Amino acid sequence: MTAERIAAPAPTREQQVLDRIERARRRKAVVREERITLAHGAGGKATQTLVEGLFVEAFRNPRLAPLDDGAILPATGDRLVLTTDSYVVSPLFFPGGDIGDLAVNGTVNDLAVSGARPRYLSAGFILEEGFPVPDLARIVASMAAAARRAGVEVVTGDTKVVQRGKADGCYINTAGVGLLDRPHTYTATAVRPGDAVLVSGPIGEHGVTIMLARGELDIEADVASDTAPLHELVATLLDTAPGVRLMRDATRGGVATILNEVARAAGVAVVVDDAAVPVRPAVNGACEMLGIDPLYVACEEGSSRSWTATKRRQRWPHCAGTRSARAPRSSAASAPTRPAWCC
């Protein structure tokens, strides 16, 4: 006796639609456009493709994967430090870096100089209509690489697109969360007369690099941005030199602006020995031609070659002393026996 073959029931129209949706969900998102359009910021399919095909692919991690309105982060009982910053640099790509790694490193360093261990970042992109997708992919890849180097995760983000001419290609906003597991709080009000000031490397390199990269000045110099994460250097400093009172990231406005802000907050005067401030000849020469003071030029302080920090009674290279107006001025070589605050 031959068994009759029973035909499977034909799928209903509803099932066909569900199967098609499931296949679409499994399909890897690919951004096929060459330039950003307003549709990429409208919240529909183009937005979803951009987010999944570019951002999620670059920053992939379990906390980002749900793509919820917020990331759920574990807490261990430590104090949290939250910082935020926005990046509108022009040009977007420059010797030594680009707006992508600058955004990650700048946020990581803001957390580090607060005494925190950087853990999580957000990334918000404001894109101009017509911005090249390959340039955006390059920026995102740079951010992802910088995040891996710094040991942080990009766990949430946002994308907006504005009309052509309403932005300078690409702006990035970040927020950063770090864990403050040290008992000390590093604040300007803790600075005292007699403290020493340290810088982590030659100043002014980033700002001069950006000014020359714009091509508006007929000046050539062998300079590159020193953008880099400083969290490991800061941790070593704090482990070695418990007398540190304050740390600041001397970006916009440079070291001089930081010194003025701290002096005002702490009610002290700051005496700077110009000979003790490290400035590379190329940067110094460019600043002289432009008629600007390197102390007021933005830094990213990525260099670790120019400072060492050991015990409180040992010497600190590249220092200038902070003093009250009544305190005697001393040289950089004799200042290091005092607690320090850093730029």
The pairing of strands 79-87 and 93-94 is unpaired
What tokens appear for 212 in the block?
């020359």
* Distance (Å, whole) CA 98 – CA 172: 11
Lowest-confidence pick of 11-15, 154-158, 325-329: 325-329
How large a percentage of the chain has pLDDT more than 70? 84
Looking at the predicted structure, is the pLDDT value of residue 333 above 50?
Answer: no
Looking at the predicted structure, is the pLDDT value of residue 310 above 60?
Answer: no
Which residue in 236, 223, 204 sits closest to 307, CA to CA?
A: 236
Burial tier of 253 (Cβ tally within 10 Å: 0-12, 13-18, 19+): middle
- Under the banding of pLDDT at 50, 70 and 90, the label for residue 60 is very high
User: Stretch 33-43: mean pLDDT, rounded?
Assistant: 90
Lowest-confidence pick of 2-11, 143-152, 211-220, 223-232: 2-11
- Ranked by mean pLDDT, the top range of 15-24, 60-69, 88-97 is 88-97
User: Stretch 172-194: mean pLDDT, rounded?
Assistant: 88
pTM for the whole structure: 0.80
Whether the CB-CB separation of 203 and 256 falls below 8 Å is answered with no
Torsion region of 142: left, alpha or beta (phi above 0 gives left; psi -120 to 50 gives alpha): alpha
Looking at the predicted structure, is the pLDDT value of residue 220 above 60?
Answer: yes
Predicted pLDDT of residue 50:
92
Looking at the predicted structure, is the pLDDT value of residue 337 above 50?
Answer: no
